[in-house]
Amino acid sequence: MQDIFDNWFQNGNEDFSGVFSVSVDDSVIFQQAYGYRNRAEKLPNKSDTAFGIASGTKLFTGLAICKLIDEKKLSLGDRLCDLLSYDLGQINKKVTVLHLLTHTSGIGDYIDEEAENCEEQLQSLYDKYPVQLWTRLEYYLQMITPLPPKFEPGERYGYSNSGFVLLGLVVEAVSGLAYQQYVQDKIIAPCKLVHTGYYRMDSLPPDTALGYMQDGDAGEWRTNIFSLPVLGGSDGGLFTCAGDLDILWRAIFANKILSEEMTHSFLKLQVMINQERGKSYGLGVYRNIQDNNVSYYAVGGDAGVDFFTAYFPKSKVVVSALGNTNMNTFPLLRKMFEVLA
């Protein structure tokens, strides 16, 4: 692990700001922390610093939906139009919970990561809908429901932020709780995740990293407070730390969050993404297959956010990288697949 990290770090990644952690059977075997959680105050990132994880949040949303299925309050075949009372506009009435969980709904995406001009679209969105107003999931509907479908439900895999926003609304409709509160009550608190939560960007708790972007012209580092929704939702925006991710993965595989049957459904192949690369998807979690060994992972990237976490059942290893800049740690994850799978 030392050699792998040093090789990555010394080959153009010396500006890494964040935490890289590897654990086996609850014991940390390798960990490095670099950079600052607060650049102005020169407060360093530490092993237990919490970071935003962007779309890594979808792992928690998938678990929340599966928890509701375990509670017999929901099923994978339930149609979205039967679960939500909102005007769903152009969303296909055939879309089910399964379609949403597996990115096969075809719903128009308010942040279309398949589009070449995704970043320009996102900036236009923030210009029209100021980030300080993004506090409730209903707010997202005005950006989603007018969009035409991209394809028929079940036709193919197509990564969808909109789909996971709608899953958050399903959680609220079925549980009677705000999405963030349901995740807190059913996953974060029972697992005793001590530094995980949906923190407001303008009210971060102690030892939480500010996200930073570097201005290309001036070279100044600026925080991402005006570049992300003020409160995270079901498609992104959760904060967590390396130790909590270790606890989460081991709780999943010990059937402490979901029943054994539901855990199996959560983890099993639901849709193939890239057969040649062994990449597939479960019910909110990525899967990687190499030499008949399956590993599971979640990733996230956004303004001032760089994240991945992975679990390797064969060796019982958890590997996580949490960064508070736009540094790309994905090559580290690919190396983990090669070595540990």
pLDDT of 130 above 80: yes
**Chain-wide mean pLDDT for the chain?**
96
Q: Which range, of 39-53, 107-121, 189-203, averages the lowest pLDDT?
A: 107-121
Check pLDDT > 80 for residue 341. Answer: no
Query: In angstroms, rounded to a whole number, what is the distance separating the alpha carbons of residues 209 and 265?
Result: 34
| Distances from the Cα of 271 to the Cα of 98, 183, 278, angstroms | 10, 25, 11
pLDDT at 236: 98
Q: How far apart are CA 319 and CA 321, in angstroms?
A: 7
Query: Cα separations (Å) of 56 from 16, 160, 174, 220?
Result: 19, 13, 23, 27
pLDDT digits (tens, 9 = 90+) for 13-45: 999 999 999 999 989 999 999 999 999 999 999
Give CA angle at 317 (36, 241), nearest 5°. Answer: 30
* pLDDT tens by residue, 41-77: 999 999 999 999 999 999 999 999 999 999 999 999 9
Report pLDDT for 145. Answer: 97
Which CATH superfamily does the domain covering 2-43+54-340 fall into? DD-peptidase/beta-lactamase superfamily (3.40.710.10)
C-alpha distances (whole Å) from 144 to each of 31, 74, 153, 227, 260 are 40, 23, 16, 19, 35
For residues 200 and 210, is the Cβ–Cβ distance under 8 A? no
| Average pLDDT value for residue range 198-210 | 97
Alpha-carbon distance values, 166 to 108, 110, 271 (Å) = 12, 12, 19
How high is the pLDDT of residue 217?
75
Cα 229 from Cα 227, distance rounded (Å) = 7
Name the phi and psi angles at 52, rounded to 5. -65, 145
Rounded distance between C-alpha atoms, residue 10 and residue 81, angstroms: 52
Residue extents of the structural domains in the chain:
2-43+54-340
Residue 215: the pLDDT is: 81
Is 115's pLDDT higher than 90? Answer: no
